[in-house]
Amino acid sequence: MVILVSNDDGVHSEGLRSLGESLRGLGEVFIIAPDRERSAVGHSLTLDMPLRVKQVEDHLFAVNGTPTDCIALGVLGILKSKPDLVVSGINMGQNLGDDITYSGTVSAAMEAALLRIPSFAVSLVANGDYRFDAAAEFSRHLAQIIMERPLPPYTLLNVNVPNLSRSDIKGVAITSLGRRHYSETVLEKIDPRGKSYYWIGGGDYKWESKEGTDIEAINRDLISVTPLHLDLTDYKLAEEMKRWSIDFNPTGI
């Protein structure tokens, strides 16, 4: 089995290394990751500059691009055969609820799903004193499960792991994405020349408390596993909108 591992924290991230090591026993593991931190780049693809691939070690490559670039290059270029599984992480910080839309970590797994490869993203809910062991062990366990029970097309899993020792983790919850309360998250400041500048996401924000969500599972010291589907179509609304008689006649007749 060929496993491709990537992340958005960059090729030197400790989380990436521990994920690669834990998966190594399951098959041949290739790591292809950004050459520097690219957190919150979302699903962006580099189209305005040439991409360079540098082999850092055996089975370990650094790319001067985004997590999505790494998966596309790995699957379509660097690897000789299509990987059986793509795992992205272990991200140093949570990727919960609405925030996944910004996440480079989750986007790497999304890119794999678009390329018809089973995938999951794994993030550690911490902002310091990172303990990767439980997240790495769980990733290996989940990889084995996915190999036995393939995910449907266009789907991936988003995993968040509490920053606890394995014995302190209470279990695993299958969850939905939580929702954020947006508040004043843009700060305006004045620079020394008297001009305004802005800082997005500087303040604290709160989550809607709703049972069954990823954020709620994490608050209960559970590992959260959220299945995601890449078809963002709202079929119910589409059916309703067909009855709205939306028309556009450029001649105005």
Interface residue with Mn ion among 18, 39, 158, 163 (CB under 5 A) is 39
From the list 2-10, 23-31, 130-138, 192-200, the region that binds Mn ion by CB under 5 A is 2-10
Residue 94 as a binder of Mn ion (CB under 5 A): the answer is: no
Which residue's CB atom is positioned nearest to Mn ion? 39
Q: Rounded to the nearest whole angstrom, what is the least distance from the CB of residue 155 to Mn ion in the complex? A: 22
Q: How far apart are CA 90 and CA 203, in angstroms?
A: 25
Q: In Å, what is the CA distance from 45 to each residue of 28, 70, 247?
A: 26, 9, 35
From the list 23-31, 38-46, 82-90, 230-238, the region that binds Mn ion by CB under 5 A is 38-46
Interface residue with Mn ion among 9, 99, 111, 214 (CB under 5 A) is 9
Token pair for 141: 């366990």
Residue 99 as a binder of Mn ion (CB under 5 A): the answer is: no
Token pair for 23: 């998966």
Vertex 232: Cα angle to 175 and 125 (nearest 5): 35
Q: Rounded to the nearest whole angstrom, what is the least distance from the CB of residue 79 to Mn ion in the complex? A: 23
- The CA radius of gyration of the chain, in Å to the nearest whole number, is 20
Contact present, 135 and 20 (Cβ < 8 Å)? no
Residue 160 as a binder of Mn ion (CB under 5 A): the answer is: no
Q: Which residues bind Mn ion (CB under 5 A)?
A: 8-9, 39, 91
